[in-house]
Structure 1
């Protein structure tokens, strides 16, 4: 049996590995690693080496996810999944997703090194695409694992016109073999993920860790406001059908309606056409990302946004079109896995763990279609994420590692208790 490595040393190693993964980027100036890219392949290879070093057998599945497995008390048992994603947004930080993968590998290494026989297998998965940066549809890696793949996605294209089908082939994957990545409910015990909060609740309360209760429901839309282009000098203000002014009014309405409904509405992209300095914009394309703790609040806000757009168009002589491009309904974490995460946090000395919902989406949204999931949040400085200033504390990583291992042990105890209860003779 190998001697345990001190937690602080393990946390330092995790931080170093986050730094190493950050070097695998399409750009030397900033971190960007997208689905089925050469950088994705390089990251999979590095992660596979770390999985093997931890005592796991490792393979790349038919969707490009990098997986590792540690057998339980007997070979072939259902698996408790641990993991997160290794793809990034453009100009990313180095902890979003990657930290969760590395914490999972470190926990698996501890279990393997201890000789502890779990009543299930332990699998670590580094999901290939959570962000949706390249093909515009998020959670491709975890949706493949969950068996909820949509055949229409094969026709999605990136900014260079390469289809998802072609990208699979270029990566060395066979689209016809994608079902090999699918998991069945009976193969899984659950899914646990450690992730930076991507918010500031923990930082504002000076806490290291929290239990995630649920993940917000999200909808994304491609929006278009159309008016009439015209000469900036020759068209009087009162006769203009300015699409940019109408779109701007709707953007402000999104902010006001989000506050009123307790939702989170974001217009992250806006482009005016034809784009001349002295031309009235005749058309505007813009995006909307709408999130809420419940689907009812999210959808109610969207209905108000649609009504507001119609009123703006009627008043300004414009037209409006909305196309939904992504939808993920709110999902709740499994109660047993929430209790396990809470027990893990308490094992670090936090006797009253914080618990709140995640406003950001995560792979658990997709995995919930095939098994229950639980999440551990880790503090990130000022809640900054999807940005190079993303930052975590080494002592928080050490605490997260201890908590995550304790959560796995608690899930094992729950699993054994359920097995005993199922085997007990019925009371006459």
Structure 2
């Protein structure tokens, strides 16, 4: 089976151009630009011969019938929203590679045993409501009323945002797929790292998607005059925060880069009173920990605070932690990984197993059925940045591998 590499690249470039011109490449969910991108995608889905619908969770779905309508669908997809200045290929490659596979099947007169669905999941990236993977949560029946009540800075609720993009927050049960209702889910994605590029591999076969745990840590000290307070009498909360940040870095670094590596990041921090002439009295920060090792992720923060407790006591400050969110790791199904490997071998593509350090919609789809992911290299590992880039042949390689894996799964799952 062949795919049209030029058409795939043209679509990637066309969708990327639907962007905030002042901050390329930006197409945030729940914005007019997102709706413009969705309208473009809907036309492309229809032009490719897919039956197009928008489910109650705001997911754009294109469907091809299979030879046996009683069979569960093979699902392909990803997302079309971006982070600010987030790049042109994160998410969109998975959607448009899936579309290319579906269109190429029809053009070459190939009818699968299984129905095939291509899905653009709503708001995979963290939204202004403080929630990510909104569409795939709805797909898995995991979008709750508490989540729908979340608000963004302008006061809009997520329920209102869902209605804005054409979803139906009062009918989410219709979007939820029952457990076991899909045959397989496959997604092509840029690696967002440097492993494949550094090793010269064509693709990576994802072993698992990491768990992500976030906690809010508050360090309490005492605000004082910076000039009149001697060093030995200070209770500097920011110094305490620095001790925690450094310890978190060292603790995660010690886990190395094995099968289940760990990363820890403090990327959000609020210092009060945040004045040049004041000793910091309170620091609030968010610690994020990621790994495929679920127990280690869940225990990280409490172990960390216990380890730094003597240093904080010496400074005269205290630290408390409260959970914000936790998403468990999602393993990729071994039969799907094996099918991708066989597909890659049939195409002469070099490959290796690789964990995903980023979250994806597949985390929630895995609650419904087996998932698999294909990574392609990206330049210097850059992602979530304007410099994010892949070459046309790399996009085509990902789509070829996806097409071959779909045919392989259609044969093996139909037995």
**TM-score interval for Structure 1 and Structure 2 normalised by the shorter chain:** over 0.9
Shift of 1:415: 1.4
Equivalent residues in 2 for 1:366-385, closer than 5 Å: 366-385=364-383
Counterpart CA distance in 1 for 2:266 and 2:353 is 29
Aligned: 1:185 with 2:179: yes
| Aligned residues of 2:139 and 2:365 also touching (Cα < 8 A) | yes
Aligned: 1:149 with 2:148: no
1:163-200 alpha-carbon deviations (Å, 9 max, x no partner): 21222233343311122211123431110000011111
* Corresponding residue number in structure 2 for 1:424: none
Counterpart CA distance in 2 for 1:298 and 1:240 is 33
Give the structure-1-normalised TM-score: 0.91
CA RMSD of aligned residues (A): 1.8
| Aligned residues of 2:211 and 2:330 also touching (Cα < 8 A) | yes
Change (3 A) 1:274 1:27: farther
Structure 1 runs of 4+ aligned residues shifted over 6 Å read none
* Corresponding residue number in structure 2 for 1:402: 400
Change (3 A) 1:34 1:179: farther
Deviates more, 1:312-321 or 1:199-208: 312-321
Deviates more, 1:125-134 or 1:372-381: 125-134
* Corresponding residue number in structure 2 for 1:265: 264
In structure 1, runs of 5+ residues without a counterpart are 418-428
Shift of 1:61: 1.3
Deviates more, 1:221-230 or 1:14-23: 14-23
* Corresponding residue number in structure 2 for 1:199: 193
Give the structure-2-normalised TM-score: 0.94
* Corresponding residue number in structure 2 for 1:327: 326
Shift of 1:125: 0.4
Aligned to 1:353, which of 351, 354, 364?
A: 351
Counterpart CA distance in 2 for 1:320 and 1:19 is 48
In structure 2, runs of 5+ residues without a counterpart are 257-261
Shift of 1:315: 2.1
Counterpart CA distance in 1 for 2:132 and 2:305 is 24
| Aligned residues of 2:202 and 2:351 also touching (Cα < 8 A) | no
| Aligned residues of 1:137 and 1:325 also touching (Cα < 8 A) | no
Q: State the aligned residue count.
A: 410
* Corresponding residue number in structure 1 for 2:50: 56
1:302-345 alpha-carbon deviations (Å, 9 max, x no partner): 33212134334322222222222221111211111111111221
Counterpart CA distance in 2 for 1:89 and 1:312 is 37
Aligned to 2:387, which of 386, 389, 406?
A: 389
* Corresponding residue number in structure 2 for 1:420: none
